[in-house]
Chain A
C-alpha cells in the first residue's frame, strides 16, 4: 500500500476520509442494425419514451420532496427534451427512411442536439447538452431492457466518477456520501451545488488523475485545497482522527467562552466580528460571539435579478440587520461586483480580465445612479446605529475622494427630504489592491479605517488565480509578501490614529491569529463559526510573544515556512493545519 497524492479543483470545502466507491456510468454500446418492421420499431421507441417520462416525473417528485429544487428543475428540463417535437420527428424519420433501430436513431438525434448546444460556447447551454446526454442514456437503457443501476453504498464512502449527473446522484443514499470527486466538471457543476447543499467536500476537474482512485482504497479528501491523499499511511489517518477529536474538544471549549472578549494573556483586547452576506446570518453571528459585523457584503441584493433593488427595498434589508446588531458596529461594504458577475441592468461590456476591470468601487463610480440609491439606503438604515461605510477594490486616492463626494450628495439629498440622519459615519476602504497597501500612508489621510481583504490581496500580490487548480495552492495569504503589505498598512494607519481590520479568510485561520495580532491588527472579521476558536487562540497570546513571531515571519521566504514557524513557536501542535480542518472556503469563495 503506497501513499499517493493527487490534485483537482477544490469546489466544496471540508475534509473527509473513507473508502473510495467508484461510480461507473454504464456505457451502452449502440450499433446500427437494419430494421424491416419500422412501425414496430417506432412503437418500441414510443414505449421507451413513455417509461422514461414516467421515471423522470418520479425523480422530479422525489427531488421536490427532498427540498432539492435545483435538481427538480433539471428533471423538468429533461421532461421537455423527451417530448421535443423536432427531436422526435427527426428520430422517427430516421427509423422510417433509413430502416435503422430505435436506439441508433435516438442516439444520433440526441447527439446532434447536444453537439449543437455545446458549440455555442455558453456555459449554461453546455450544461443543457449534458442534460440531453443524460436523458438520452436513460432512453437507451430502457430500450436495452436494462434496470436502472441502483447504487447501494455498503458503508459511508468517497464517491468517485468521471462525471455525475442528477440521474446519477439521485439514486445515491446521501447519508453515506462522504465526498464527491469527479474527473470532469467545474465549480458550477450539478455535483458541486449538491455537495455545498449537503455540506460535504467536493473536488472536480481531476482529469486523468482520477484513474488513480480505485474502489476500496482509502482516500483523504480535502475539498478546501483540492488535494486527495490515496491510501494515507496509518500515521496520517491516526493524526487526522486525533485532530478531529481535539478540534471537536477545543471547539466546544471555545464555544463556551464565545461571548467573552478576545483579550490577550497580558490584557490587550481586540475586536472579533463577523463577515455576513445576508440578513439571516446576523443572528447566527451573535450566537457565535461576534461583537459586530466587520463586513456586510451587499451583493446578495443585486445579483440574479433584472432590475437593481430600489432604495426602500435596500433600506429595509439593512435596517433588519441593524436592528439585530443594536449598537454594535456594522461595516457595510458597497456593491462589489465586476464583469465576471454580470448584473444585466448594469450593461457591462465583456472584459478580457474582469478581475482587473471595472469592479468594486470603480463600477459604483461608473454607475452613479445605482450608487446613490445604495448610499441613501444605507445612510437611512444607519440612523441611530453604529454604521460604517466601506468601499471595495480601491486602488487610488482619487477614487476615495470621488466616493466621499458621492456620500456627500446622498446626505444632501436625504437632508432635503428632512430625513433623520446620524451626523457622523466612519468611512473606510478595503485594502485588497497592492497599490492601496503600498500607499496606505497617503490614503490614511482620507479614510477613517482600513479593512484588509486578504483573499484578493494575495491573489493580486502573488499573481495567482485561485480558481486555477494548477496555481491555487500558491495563493496562501500567509506568504511573507502579503504579510509585509499587511504590516505596512497597519503601521501607516496607526501613525495617523486610524484603525485596521482584516476581513479575508486569513482572519479566521487560528494559525494566522498570532501573526496578525503581532502586526498590530485591531479588528478580526471572519465567518461566524470561526470566531470562538480564534478568540481562544488570542487569549493564549501575549503581546511580547506575538510581536516577536510577527517580526520573524516577515524575514521568512514563503508561506510554508511561516506556517511551520508559527506552528513551532506557538505550540499549535494540538491543532495542526487547522485552517484546512475547519474547512475554510478558500477556493470556493474566490470562485463565487
Chain B
C-alpha cells in the first residue's frame, strides 16, 4: 500500500533551483520508492530522488503535485515531503 498526498507548490520558482534540490535531498533520506507527478501539467510520476527527473516535470508556482511513497518508511516520507512543500521549502530566500 502506497501513501500519497497532493500539494500545491507556492514557491515562486516552482520546483526549480533550491526547492527542487531540497525535495530531492529530503526524498533521498528515505528507503521507500518515492515519485512525484505534476498534476497540473499531467506528467507521469517520476523518481523524486532524481534531480533531473524532478526538474523535467516543469513544476511552476501554483502547480499541484502528487507525491507518492511506497516502502517501509512511506508515511514518514510523505509527512516530511508534504511539510517541506507546505512550508514553502522552509521559507528559503
Contacts and interface: CB of A to CB of B under 8 A. Distances in A.
B56 A120 contact: yes
B47 A344 contact: no
A124 B13 contact: yes
Interface of A: 76-77, 80-81, 84-87, 113, 116-117, 120, 122, 124-125, 128, 132, 304-306, 342-344
A305 B52 CA distance: 25
Contact of A124 (B17, B21, B88): B17
B58 A87 contact: no
Contact of A113 (B13, B56, B60, B93): B56
A120 B46 CA distance: 16
Given A84-B51, A344-B10, 10 more contacts: A80-B24, A80-B51, A81-B52, A86-B47, A87-B52, A113-B52, A120-B56, A122-B16, A124-B16, A342-B12
A84 B56 contact: no
A306 B91 contact: yes
A125 B58 contact: yes
Contacts of B52: 81, 84, 86-87, 113, 117, 132
B44 to A, nearest CB: 12
Given A80-B24, A304-B93, A86 B50 contact: yes
Contacts of B84: none
Given A116-B56, A306-B88, A81 B51 contact: yes
Given A80-B24, A124-B17, A344-B61, A306 B11 contact: yes
B56 A306 contact: no
Contact of B16 (A87, A125, A132, A306): A125
A125 B17 CA distance: 9
A80 to B, nearest CB: 5
Interface of B: 10-13, 16-17, 21, 24, 46-47, 49-53, 55-56, 58, 60-61, 88, 91, 93
Contacts of B12: 306, 342-344
A117 B55 contact: yes
Contacts of A128: 16, 55
B55 A125 contact: yes
A212 to B, nearest CB: 37
A117 to B, nearest CB: 6
Contacts of A87: 50, 52
A39 to B, nearest CB: 24
10 contacts: A85-B47, A86-B46, A86-B53, A122-B58, A122-B60, A124-B16, A306-B10, A306-B88, A344-B10, A344-B12
A340 to B, nearest CB: 15
A304 B17 CA distance: 13
Contacts of B61: 344
B58 A120 contact: yes
Among B47, B49, B58, B91, chain A packs the most CB atoms within 10 A around the CB of: B58
Among A81, A84, A305, A343, chain B packs the most CB atoms within 10 A around the CB of: A84
A344 B7 CA distance: 18
Among B17, B49, B50, B58, chain A packs the most CB atoms within 10 A around the CB of: B50
By Cβ-Cβ distance, the 6 closest A-B pairs, closest first, are: A344-B12, A86-B50, A120-B58, A113-B52, A80-B51, A84-B52
Contacts of A86: 46-47, 50, 52-53
A132 B53 CA distance: 12
Contacts of B60: 122
A122 to B, nearest CB: 7
Nearest to A109: B52
Nearest to A132: B52
Contacts of B11: 306, 344
B71 to A, nearest CB: 15
Contacts of B17: 124
